Amino acid sequence: MSASGAGIAGRQSQSLPAVTLVLGGARSGKSRYAERLIEAATMQGTYCATAEPGDAEMVARIAAHRARRCGDFWHTIEAPLEVASVIAKEAAVDRPLLVDCLTLWLSNLLLADKCVETETRSLFAVLREAAGPIVLVANEVGLGLVPETPLGRRFRDEAGRLNQEIAHEENAFVDGWAHSSVRSICKTAAGSGQRHYWKLAGNPAGWKGPADPHQDIER
């Protein structure tokens, strides 16, 4: 990309908040929605993929995601565990970074017997110092039945805590995407400690990204 092109991308990417958390249920369209946020705001992006091809179903889902990211826009890095280091190395003002998804990353940590508290602390540290906009995708896992197994219940609880802690980070923008044209949005005013809530369609007050990132998403 030319120097002038990089400058344009840098200016465009400033329309994204420092950290955006996109929450939604399974198969709700949240990954595609998060991709559209970055695609509408800049000219290039980095995709940090946390999924591992553990079975045929996951292999198929990974292949579908890769096919959607064909072309020169996305630079993909596969990092099932090392999300914090990828953010630290790859975040840039002219190349927003998408992590898809935090929930799979958490599952990978638990299965690898990693210390979740240590890893999430590292994640928060790099998010605060990231050199460019970060978009994080996560599942809302707490609205269904109580998991039957101790590991399942721990996973649900850890996922809920992780989403809450990111949402309460200063300058974080939380977008609840539930496969609907209506969004529930919670935004933290920088430095004020105050939280503002909207539930509306279209372009929320204070959001300077694409007017309607929901458009053209398959329903």
What are the chain's domains?
18-201 (3.40.50.300)
- Helix, strand, coil shares of the chain, percent, nearest 5, are 40, 20, 40
The CA distance from 129 to 94, in Å, is 16
* Helices (H) then strands (E): counts for the chain: 7, 8
Contact 154, 4 (CB under 8 A): no
Q: What angle do CA 193, 25, 60 make, to 5 degrees?
A: 130
The CA distance from 9 to 192, in Å, is 30
Catalytic residue among 65, 75, 168, 214: 65
pLDDT digits (tens, 9 = 90+) for 84-124: 999 999 999 999 999 999 999 999 999 999 999 999 999 99
Q: Is 168 a catalytic residue?
A: no
pLDDT digits (tens, 9 = 90+) for 27-50: 778 888 899 999 999 999 999 999
Burial 17-30 (b: 16+ CB within 10 A, else e): bbbbbbbbeeebbb
The CA distance from 110 to 151, in Å, is 9
Nearest to 50 by CA among 94, 74, 12, 81: 81
Q: Residue 107: what pLDDT?
A: 94
Q: Residue 9: what pLDDT?
A: 37
Per-residue pLDDT of the chain (219 residues; tens, 9 = 90+): 323 333 333 434 447 889 999 988 777 788 888 999 999 999 999 999 998 877 777 777 777 777 777 778 999 999 999 999 999 999 999 999 999 999 999 999 999 999 999 999 999 999 999 999 999 999 888 777 888 899 989 999 999 899 888 888 766 677 665 433 333 333 333 333 333 333 333 333 333 344 444 443 332
Neighbours of 171 (CB within 10 A): 14
Please report, as a single letter, which amino acid is at residue 89.
Answer: K
Give just the sign of the alpha carbon dihedral 134, 32, 117, 163.
positive
The CA distance from 69 to 76, in Å, is 9
